[in-house]
Amino acid sequence: MEPPQYTGVAYIRKEHKYEIPVPEVFSLVTNVDEMLMFYKTIYAYAQEKKGIFLDMSKIRQISVDAILYTISVFDHLEKSLHFTKFGGNFPNDEYTHQVLLQSSFFNYVKANFKFDPDDSDILSVKSGQLVRGKVAQQVINFGKAQLGRVGDASTRSMYATLIECMVNTGHHAYEKRLPNWKWWLMALPDRDKRKVHFAFLDNGRGIPVTVRKNFRERVLQLFGNTAMDSRLIQSTLEGEYRTRIKNKWRGKGLPKIYSYSKNKLIENLRIISNHGYVECDNDQSMELRDKFHGTLLYWEFV
């Protein structure tokens, strides 16, 4: 695979490793093109079986979605390519450094040290395969505590959102389970605690691949046309009958999450899946140049 045009990569000959700079804005929701180019670069160099050193020193902005996706990329590289020769440094920015430490990021990517999160203001990454209501409850209680909204029943829609996300990972309405499916979840408050950011990621085949498509869409996809991914996501959200299973009562989860967004029960909902990127608040979407593996839902609790 030809390495992509990602600037700043250096080969350290005596250590047989590539040093790859991590984007300063380490966030898929605000810097998706550069981030996907960065991951594509990691995949390309991992094929060479040399070491990869991630230079994280210049990260100045970090978001939960990027932490989750990086963990899933490491997980995939280890399981599919048996590639584990990763190294890296810490961000110079103290806040970013702390977020990475407290999120358990380094434990998930199997760094050569262990760190037990001890900051109650940062919810470490949760991971699983099945639907785990207790985990969803824990995450919501964290969000409520951060915003001083303990006892607030308005988070019921968020609980439903998390459960829908978990079940969509492995056994959703669109196709059968994948063998190595997994989900990751994280929440992080703003520095001023005015909102809590949530991200949920699964490593499935992605909404555009798994939903039911009409004949024209199938033909286009067969010829590698991915320019319709965001439209497929959007139409799934809007409740078009796209479940592959013949039972019409299935496939209501994503439309329900979309309705929560439209009713402002969750804020700033964004969905990234394969080549599609959808901002649900304003129904803006775009096609991504590089592929995102899996499905990410990001939203805020204000």
Partner 1 sequence: MITINIAKEFSTTPGARYKADGPFSGEEFREKLLEKHFEDPNSDYEITIVLDGTEGYATSFLEEAFGGLARKYGKKICLKRLRFVSTEESSLIDEITGYMQDVEN
Among 158, 187, 196, 278, binds partner 1 (CB under 8 A): 158
Binding flag, residue 160, partner 1 (CB under 8 A): yes
Choices 28-36, 99-107, 154-162, 274-282; region in contact with partner 1 by CB under 8 A: 154-162
| Nearest residue (CB) to partner 1, 153 versus 222 | 153
Q: Kindly write down the DSSP assignment for every residue of 68-95, as one continuous string.
A: HHHHHHHHHHHHHH----EEE---SSHH
- Give the Cα separation of 205 and 169 in Å (integer): 9
Of residues 197 through 226, those in contact with partner 1 by CB under 8 A are: none
Site residues for partner 1, window 238-257 (CB under 8 A)?
248-250, 252-253, 256
By CB under 8 A, name the one of 164, 242, 243, 280 that touches partner 1. 164
CB of 209 to partner 1, least distance (A): 21
Distance CA 143, CA 145 (A): 5
What is the C-alpha separation between 212 and 246, in angstroms, rounded?
Answer: 10
Identified binder of partner 1 from the candidate list 137, 180, 214, 284, rule CB under 8 A: 137
Among the listed residues 67, 140, 207, 269, the single contact to partner 1 using CB under 8 A = 140
Closer Cβ to partner 1, 101 or 131, answer by number = 131
Q: What is the CA radius of gyration of the chain?
A: 19
Distance of CA 84 to the CA centre of its chain: 21
Measured distance CA(256)–CA(262) in Å, rounded: 10
Residue 216: Cβ-neighbour burial (10 angstroms; 0-12, 13-18, 19+): exposed
**Would you tell me which residues interact with partner 1 (CB under 8 A)?**
130-134, 136-137, 140, 153, 155-160, 163-164, 166-167, 170-171, 248-250, 252-253, 256
